[in-house]
Amino acid sequence: MGVTTAHAQEMTDEAIKERIKPYGSLNVAGAQAADAGAAAARSGEDVYNGACVACHGSGVLGAPRVHNAEDWQPRLDERGLDGVWNNALNGLNAMPPRGTCGNCSDDEIKAAIEYMVEGI
């Protein structure tokens, strides 16, 4: 009896990508389509009122309060607006990524931050 050796099939990166690519998509009723570009972007105030006010209105779990320089200025001094925006996108401490606005675009998140720091 001979010994049988199995040889692994060599596959290129392109062949692997083709083999594992999705073959369908899922449409969840009520979910916003990722490419719904026809919809107008929400204003920073609209995003704040719909998703951010719960924590940033009263400072829940240390969230910086809206239009409150004492809360926001140290963060802005340390990280700048882009750093604060990056924290909002990725989450920080008790705040999950994108806060509670999972369907907000990056620009809408930034607009909400700009609204919250307005006048500071």
The answer to whether residues 48 and 56 touch, using CB atoms and an 8 Å cutoff, is: yes
| pLDDT band for position 18 (cuts 50, 70, 90) | confident
CA distances from 26 to 12, 33, 34, 37 (A): 28, 10, 12, 19
Cα–Cα distance measured from residue 69 to residue 6, given in angstroms and rounded to the nearest whole number: 67
Mean pLDDT across 34-51: 81
Q: What are the structural domain ranges in the chain?
A: 42-120
Residue whose entry in the numeric block shows the structure tokens 């990166």: 13
Please provide the average confidence, as pLDDT, over all residues in the chain.
84
Say what the pLDDT of residue 59 is: 94
- Of 1.10.760.10, 1.20.140.10, 3.40.50.720, 3.40.50.300, which CATH number belongs to 42-120? 1.10.760.10
Read off the pLDDT of residues 58-95 as tens digits, 9 standing for 90 and up: 999 999 999 999 999 999 999 999 999 999 999 999 99
In angstroms, the CA 21 to CA 107 distance is: 29
- Please give the residue that has the higher pLDDT: either 83 or 7: 83
